[in-house]
Structure 1
Amino acid sequence: MFGIFKPRTFFNLANSSLFWLKIILVFALITGLILALLFSPIDYLQKDTVRIMYVHVPSSWISLFIFLIVGISSFISLIFKLRVFSVYAKSLAPIGLVFSLISVVTGSLWGYPTWGTFWSWDGRLTSMFVLVLTYFLYVSLWSFIKNYNSAEKITNIVGIVGLINIPIIKFSVAWWNTLHQPASITLTAAPTIHSSMLAPLLIMFFSFCILSLIIFLIRYKYEIINFRVNKK
């Protein structure tokens, strides 16, 4: 059942799937961009700036999802001594860092016409900024701590502690007064966003997921070799 998590099996899976994932990415990304830029309607208040949503929202979702995986993988690695999971986390973290930065930057650009400011220290924005810092700390520790085993243990702790911020980001809009609008898409209710906007949004999210998976598999192939060389 867990054979796919074995390094050799996962390595072979990465080699065999990359080509087809790249093909899927090209078609999905082109479709998403065409729908988002040419067919999605403008907002009567935000005008064309609403199109930033098609980058901002998927980037936000992915940055949260990746850190959730990083945190869970760190927990499994630290508690159950299944060290290959720290390789998964290390391979994913830089991807999550980039998407969290994209989320913060595009959110500022999108919010300025509506809020009149690029930044406000409200609950959602502050917790997302904390996520960026947590990602940066995690990635930096791997870079600056030369002993592999020490870096692995410390980053596992950072990954686990960082999980605390995920529900804070998710529920910050409900818990505190915030400039950020409530979620238009949830698992417990029908979307409040029109289908002409929902379709390109989901396709762009799918595209970013595939892009993240491709980069992860490429990074994993390098990191698993690095792990085998340095583990003790």
Structure 2
Amino acid sequence: MSDIGFFARRYGPPPHEDRPATVLVHGLGLSGRYFVPLARRLAANGATVVVPDLPGNARSRAAARRAPDVEQLADALAGLHRRLSLGPSLIVANSVGCQVVAALAARHPHLVSRLVLVGPALEPRVSGWRQFGRLVADAPKEPLGLLWLAAFDYLVTGPLRCAASFHRSLRDAGESFEVNLSQVRAPTLVVRGAGDTIASGTWTRRVAGLVADGRAEDIPGAAHAAHYSAPDAMATLIEKFTAGETG
């Protein structure tokens, strides 16, 4: 979709004003490819699903001259909404993508109908080295296919750009993430794979408590990328949440 300035995939029917779209937002240095299993599952039930590669990442690497900060990525998502006429949408994000969509909801609240935060990272007041150690500990718990996909995406995005993005995301975690979460008024579901070593249970429950209307759920047998390893369970949670069901 060259008209939005960066690459995005679309699944399901075209956007329609009477049906909120679903936007899936990837984590640091990655592409939207690891959201494809979930996107297909949601689209099979009639959802319009948009899966971008954020500017500076993977197939959208050339859309930014240098690694954008979190606020710039949030504004880029707002631009995608406007250009595709998506309107208020369900936003699903993983890992550092949760910082981006928290900024989106704080800066452009009219574009967000509901939020789903999967393994929100980075956790404030945790050092960069400790965050990196958590990532290394999570890797053996993820499917091998995800590890190959992530390795390829990191290479395409570039190690230096990934490092710069990590530095900027750490700064956002320390200065803005919790502030942005406290400004979120959209109903929010915080999902954690039960084996996630990156987003702790204590932190994900705090995230659910920081937003105005939040609740937390765990997915057994999954780790940080629960949307990839358990797309059916994730889709079921999202569809119940969208329908206003609890539990």
Q: Whose relative contact order is higher, 1 or 2, with alpha carbons under 8 Å and at least 6 apart? A: 1
Q: Give the strand-richer structure, 1 or 2.
A: 2
Alignment TM-score, normalising by the size of structure 2: 0.24
Alignment TM-score, normalising by the size of structure 1: 0.25
Point out the structure with max Rg over C-alpha: 1
Q: Give the helix-richer structure, 1 or 2.
A: 1
